[in-house]
Amino acid sequence: MKRVIELHGLFDQRCSGFGRIGLLLTLPFVLIIAFAAYQLFFIPTPEVKGIEAFNYLSADKTIKFNGENIESIEISISQDGRKFDLLKDTPQTKSKSYSLQIKPKIIGTKDGKARITIMAKAGMIKKARYDIEAVIDTTPPEIDVVAAPQFIYPGTGAFSILKASGEDSVFIKLADKARSTDDKTFKAFKMSSGPDSKDSSSGQSESATQRSTGQAGNIYYVFFPAAYDIDEGSIFYAVATDMAGNRSIKTLPTKIKITKYSASSINIDDAFIKRVVSPLLNETNISDTAQAFKKVNEELRQQSLNKLLEIAQQTEPKVLWEGNFIQLKNSKVMATYGDRRTYLYNGTPISKSVHLGYDLASVEKAPVEASNTGIVKYAGDLSIYGNTVIIDHGLGFMSIYGHLSAIMVNEGQKVSKGEIIAKSGATGLAGGDHLHFGLLMHGYEVSPLYWWDPHWIQVNVTDLIQQERANLSY
């Protein structure tokens, strides 16, 4: 019996030994599986965002993109069997923003197709690869100014004809001397295509060889405004860009001639606040009268101006109007464009504004006609403008009718010059029945004064178009 017990103990010891050996042998496999599971399930997949800019490479292009959940990233460009490294990085953080400058000619590539390869890694397993079929285009487009005014007054609009080749977009850029960080651009619209026009079906710019064969180029029309407070030393540029990011600029001969606008003071009383300001704020109990008016006159005014810029994006790419614009019949001018207003409450200045249109008064609820042919782009309430109609005349050129008591047209409706579209009123920030009339260029109000004059339009718009067309036919 004792012998059996001893043998049984020895067997237990051996089994225990085998168990420990088995555990030691399987432990590495368990650790490997656990490590692989961690790498697979707990380490997020790397991702590179913003790489669309690699599709086209210009002569000098800076591409900004973001890497997320990356431990290493490599970017290279390949062409004709040669490979060039653009970036190698092992960031200290899992997310990093990059700004990569690429100059294809310095790298050693040539114009044409190339492949961009982006490799990002996270841990030992997770990888992300992006292969981009890029187009290298280092030849800038061409741009010329066919016609442009010699001068422009602040607060007025102008018309210009441009010619471009090898372009994908053309616009006028205002470099406002007093606002270097607030340059504005105004889109030009293609009216005719030369033999070197872009292949619109492929969405790609033509090669430099194709560009050099074209003679006529593409003709563009552009209406552009000069802000009422533009600086005298400001400059307008004609700009052409292509899909790769190359650009060319030409300076317009247009100079700024400073003019002075009137200034006035307007008294605000409690009756006006209750009758006009309260509805705009949707508030019947106003404790701080000055602050309430200031909010309407400044905050709501700016929101309305921003809405005009938004509506301007809906313009038709063709000229819809003809001849001079018409003024409200039998109307008296109550306020002009550019009037600098100071609002007083109990004799104290509480706010300021600049009037960016003409206030025209006739009889109460006078019929309002469309000032020219176009398409209604907006018909409804527009904050301080009250009930408003905006008619698109094409190419970013629109007319605005504010403070209406009734609107008689619908958005999308085509209207003819002289057609009744509304009735005058006192809605919005208006003290009495009248029509606020203005013209918009790319969403910015300009003075309608010149556009009421058929001779001015003939000289500054119609003759230029006819001359350009005659040159094309010649």
Would you list the DSSP string of 297-339?
IIIIHHHHHHHHHHHHTT--SS----S---PPTT-EEEE-TT-
CA 242 and chain centroid, separation: 17
Question: Tens digits of per-residue pLDDT, 380-439?
Answer: 999 999 999 999 999 999 999 999 999 999 999 999 999 999 999 999 999 899 999 999
**Is it the case that residue 13 has pLDDT exceeding 80?**
no
State the sign of the Cα–Cα–Cα–Cα dihedral 230, 235, 238, 239: negative
Find, among 73, 16, 84, 26, the residue nearest to 50 by Cα: 73
Strand partners, 132: 116
235 compared with 181, residue with greater pLDDT: 235
Residues of the chain with pLDDT > 70, as a percent, come to: 84
What is the enclosing helix (H) or strand (E) of 246? Answer: none
**Is it the case that residue 18 has pLDDT exceeding 60?**
no
- How far, in Å, are 67, 130, 131, 388 from residue 118 at the CA level? 11, 5, 7, 52
**Is it the case that residue 14 has pLDDT exceeding 90?**
no
**Is it the case that residue 156 has pLDDT exceeding 80?**
yes
Structure tokens at 319: 């000229």
Structure tokens at 9: 């103990």
| Per-residue pLDDT at 11 | 46
Range of lowest pLDDT (25-34, 165-174, 183-192, 317-326) = 25-34
| Per-residue pLDDT at 177 | 65
Task: Give the global pTM.
Answer: 0.82
78 backbone φψ class: left, alpha, beta (φ>0; ψ -120 to 50): beta
3-state secondary structure of 448: coil
**Is it the case that residue 206 has pLDDT exceeding 50?**
no
Range of lowest pLDDT (213-222, 343-352, 365-374) = 213-222
What is the enclosing helix (H) or strand (E) of 173? Answer: strand 169-175
Which residue type does 347 have?
G
Q: Are 79 and 109 in contact (CB under 8 A)?
A: yes
**Is it the case that residue 7 has pLDDT exceeding 70?**
no
Task: Report how far residue 399's alpha carbon sits from residue 419's, in angstroms, rounded to the nearest whole number.
Answer: 14
Find, among 128, 122, 114, 117, the residue nearest to 56 by Cα: 114
Domains of the chain: 47-136 (2.70.50.50), 142-256 (2.60.40.10), 263-459 (2.70.70.10)
**Is it the case that residue 112 has pLDDT exceeding 90?**
yes
Question: Tens digits of per-residue pLDDT, 435-459?
Answer: 999 999 999 999 999 999 999 999 9
What is the enclosing helix (H) or strand (E) of 21? Answer: helix 2-41
